[in-house]
């Protein structure tokens, strides 16, 4: 490269850096987490981010290592009265029923068609898995993504009457953006189906598909009508839950996160793995304590059980986020 | 936020954008691919990137969808006379032999200890897999990464006498940087072990661990001496090769790439999947034609066989990159 050009370029680069820092300082003059009430939780988050981004401090973490992982159901969006993906599966059963006359007598499909949630749940893990495989496979990757997108556009939550993608937690949207503004890479690590989440995570959370880790079915590369496609096969591939979460993190991310946010005992291993590393770490759990604005549940809930975590949080330095106390608003307006 | 602050911030942001564009134009005034000779290959690459980044053109692709995938062995670094990871496994066998007296009589370990490469290869896929599992598992994720890093620091290539991480292709380093400068996200999609690559890809290629897709063994979350760790288990988890490559892309990335670069028939499905999508796509293969500066091999090579691809490239519009003709230099100085 021409040396004059190169010198000019360096000069401009310097200017850009100076101005970018100025912009970022001005941005920080405001409150980056307006939906978080002042208190020990917000303070702990702000202090953690300050510590790991302070180049002169001993808690400093290189930007590349600033990996933050978030559970999805109950951590980023509502998971009551049942997981959104289960509602999707039930709606799919109804839609596909005409092609499956055998479902009229076969559980859990029979209960699903009758709208009998208890009957569906009575079929246990095995029955639920069968229903998920029957409704989530047998099509190409693109077809499934389209089915999810179409469903999310029309489905409404039974309590709030809003689309599920609007029932995401405003304080968490702010936290995700705040972390990214401070050089973090944000990931979802969920027990939910990876391909059920990917069609909306970028638009809703600013998290691209390649930063979503989840449970999955097997897929197969095939040529269909001369076109190369991936076909979803009715076989379980990976369960990204409990002890599977650190495994999913290792496979997809290949680094130990420094911040992890969950809301149930199923997230405990992920938070253990995260906070068990060297240096500054932060582990948090949403505690659903707000029956008015959202839901109140913990130890005995059939969805998002938060029990062991409540017993072990203090000893491990994990932060229990009290939805009612800590969140000024729950959903976006 | 204070309205004055906000206005000031917008002003600064505007300035940053203007200057950033200026820097980028000046940078483009030089040749971003100096190690690529002028000719149809370089022209095709530059034209493709121009087309997908021209907001007013009909080939425009949103930055988020600019996914580029690269095979590793033979595409980004040297793969002859044998895959680097196999050399690593052989060295590990020698190192671990004192703890495994049974290896003295057991193939492929016996041949490995005798330095008899033909004997090792004679054990076939099954024998090689056994050797890889025996040398790549039974330790934590961190311990394995450290073993790889230590080995890479001291191992030397038999022909070039240089560390393997210096035997990466200079034209490809430039291409990776050029793509990233144009909003692409670059990934490795290799048949090699994901955890064998991750310790060096960021430093050497500028590709972070979370953008590396590869073959893997099973891992298990365990508490060891009160510390949460991931332990590598001697079971194959995923083979990211041939028809497995599009599957690996779907699982890790969740989008169809728009550019794919390989060098052998094992990359064919990945390039088919990439170029089989809608809109502008680019598929390329390195053809090793340079016995002087590197190696010359294709249809009959035991490593990196390039045979079917050579027959089908023209009909599919895939670009065969002729190392001798197209690359001004092969390795970094």
CB-based contacts of B59, cutoff 8 Å, min separation 6: B51, B52, B279, B280
Could you say which of B154, B174, B199 is where a domain stops?
B154
Could you say which of B154, B179, B211 is where a domain stops?
B154
Structural domain for B228, as ranges: 33-81+164-326
Q: Could you give the number of structural domains in chain A?
A: 2
Q: How many CB pairs under 8 A join A and B?
A: 134
Using 50, 70 and 90 to split pLDDT, how confident is the model at B30?
confident
Could you say which of A133, A154, A175 is where a domain stops?
A154
Q: Are residues A77 and A91 in the same domain?
A: no
pLDDT tens-place string over residues B221-269: 999 999 999 999 999 999 999 999 999 999 999 999 999 999 999 999 9
Structure tokens at B201: 């890809």
Q: Which of A311, A150, A140 is nearest to A231 (CA)?
A: A140
Residue range B113-125: average pLDDT?
92
Q: Which residues of B touch A206 (CB under 8 A)?
A: none
CB-based contacts of B219, cutoff 8 Å, min separation 6: A247, A250, A251, B141, B230, B231, B232, B233, B237
Residue A92 lies in a domain: yes
How far apart are alpha carbons A330 and A157 in whole angstroms?
A: 15
Q: Which residues of B touch A193 (CB under 8 A)?
A: none
Residue B6 lies in a domain: no
pLDDT tens-place string over residues B194-230: 999 999 999 999 999 999 999 999 999 999 999 999 9
Position B191 scores a pLDDT of 97
Minimum-distance CB partner of B230 among A16, A141, A247? A247
Cβ of B12 and A26 within 8 Å? yes
Q: Which of B260, B241, B223 is nearest to B67 (CA)?
A: B260
End-to-end CA distance of chain A: 52
List the single best residue of A3, A6, A12, A237 to mutate versus B (max B Cβ within 10 A): A12
Position B275 scores a pLDDT of 98
Helix (H, G, I), strand (E, B) or coil at A81: coil
Minimum-distance CB partner of B209 among A2, A237, A253? A253
Q: Are residues B144 and B218 in the same domain?
A: no
Q: Which residues of A touch B25 (CB under 8 A)?
A: none
Cβ neighbours of A90 (radius 10 Å): 21
Tell me the ipTM for this assembly. Answer: 0.91
Residue B97 lies in a domain: yes
Q: Are residues A213 and A244 in the same domain?
A: yes
Q: Are residues A76 and A184 in the same domain?
A: yes
* pLDDT of B54 higher than 90: yes
Minimum-distance CB partner of A26 among B9, B211, B212? B9
Cβ of B230 and A220 within 8 Å? no
Q: Which of B154, B151, B159 is nearest to B93 (CA)?
A: B151
Using 50, 70 and 90 to split pLDDT, how confident is the model at B3?
very low
Q: Are residues B62 and B130 in the same domain?
A: no
Q: Are residues B191 and B251 in the same domain?
A: yes
Helix (H, G, I), strand (E, B) or coil at A139: coil
In chain B, the residue whose alpha carbon lies closest to the alpha carbon of A15 is B19
Largest CA distance in chain B: 79
Q: Which of B166, B261, B152 is nearest to B204 (CA)?
A: B166
Cβ neighbours of A321 (radius 10 Å): 24
How far apart are alpha carbons B22 and B215 in whole angstroms?
A: 42
Cβ of A228 and B23 within 8 Å? no
Q: Are residues A77 and A131 in the same domain?
A: no
Partners of B140 in beta bridges: B231
Residue B190 lies in a domain: yes
Q: Are residues B43 and B129 in the same domain?
A: no
pTM: 0.91
Using 50, 70 and 90 to split pLDDT, how confident is the model at A3?
very low
Sign of the torsion angle spanned by Cα atoms A155, A158, A161, A163: negative
Mean of the per-residue pLDDT values of chain B: 93
Place of tokens 């379980």: A236
Position A30 scores a pLDDT of 74
Using 50, 70 and 90 to split pLDDT, how confident is the model at A92?
very high
Q: Are residues B100 and B171 in the same domain?
A: no
Position A204 scores a pLDDT of 98
Residue range A7-33: average pLDDT?
61
């Amino acid at each position: 490269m021409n040396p004059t050009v190169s010198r000019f370029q360096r000069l401009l680069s310097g200017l850009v850096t100076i101005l970018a820092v100025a912009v970022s300082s001005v941005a920080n003059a405001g409150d980056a987490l307006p939906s978080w009430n002042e208190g020990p939780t917000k303070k702990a988050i702000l202090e953690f981010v300050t510590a790991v981004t302070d180049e002169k401090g001993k808690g400093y973490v290189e930007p590349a290592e600033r990996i933050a992982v978030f559970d999805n159901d109950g951590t980023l969006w509502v998971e009551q009265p049942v997981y959104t993906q289960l509602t999707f599966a039930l709606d799919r059963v109804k839609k596909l029923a005409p092609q499956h006359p055998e479902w009229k007598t076969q559980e859990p499909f029979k209960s699903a068609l009758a709208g009998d949630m208890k009957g569906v749940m009575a079929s246990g893990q095995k029955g639920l898995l069968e229903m998920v495989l029957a409704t989530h496979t047998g099509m190409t990757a693109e077809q499934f993504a389209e089915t999810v997108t179409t469903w999310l556009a029309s489905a409404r939550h039974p309590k709030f009457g809003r689309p599920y993608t609007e029932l995401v937690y405003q304080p968490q949207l702010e936290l995700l953006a705040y972390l990214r503004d401070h050089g973090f890479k944000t990931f979802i690590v969920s027990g939910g189906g990876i391909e059920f989440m990917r069609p909306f995570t970028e638009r809703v959370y600013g998290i691209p598909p390649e930063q979503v880790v989840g449970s999955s079915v097997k897929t197969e590369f095939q040529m269909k009508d001369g076109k190369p496609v991936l076909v979803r096969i009715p076989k379980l591939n990976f369960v990204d839950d409990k002890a599977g979460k650190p495994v999913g993190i290792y496979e997809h991310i290949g680094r130990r996160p420094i911040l992890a946010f969950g809301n149930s005992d199923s997230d405990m291993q992920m938070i253990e793995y995260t906070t068990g590393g060297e240096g500054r770490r932060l582990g948090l759990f949403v505690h659903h304590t707000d029956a008015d604005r959202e839901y109140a549940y913990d130890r005995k809930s059939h969805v998002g059980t938060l029990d062991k975590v409540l017993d072990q949080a203090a000893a491990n330095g994990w932060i229990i986020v009290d939805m009612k106390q800590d969140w000024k608003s729950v959903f976006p307006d």
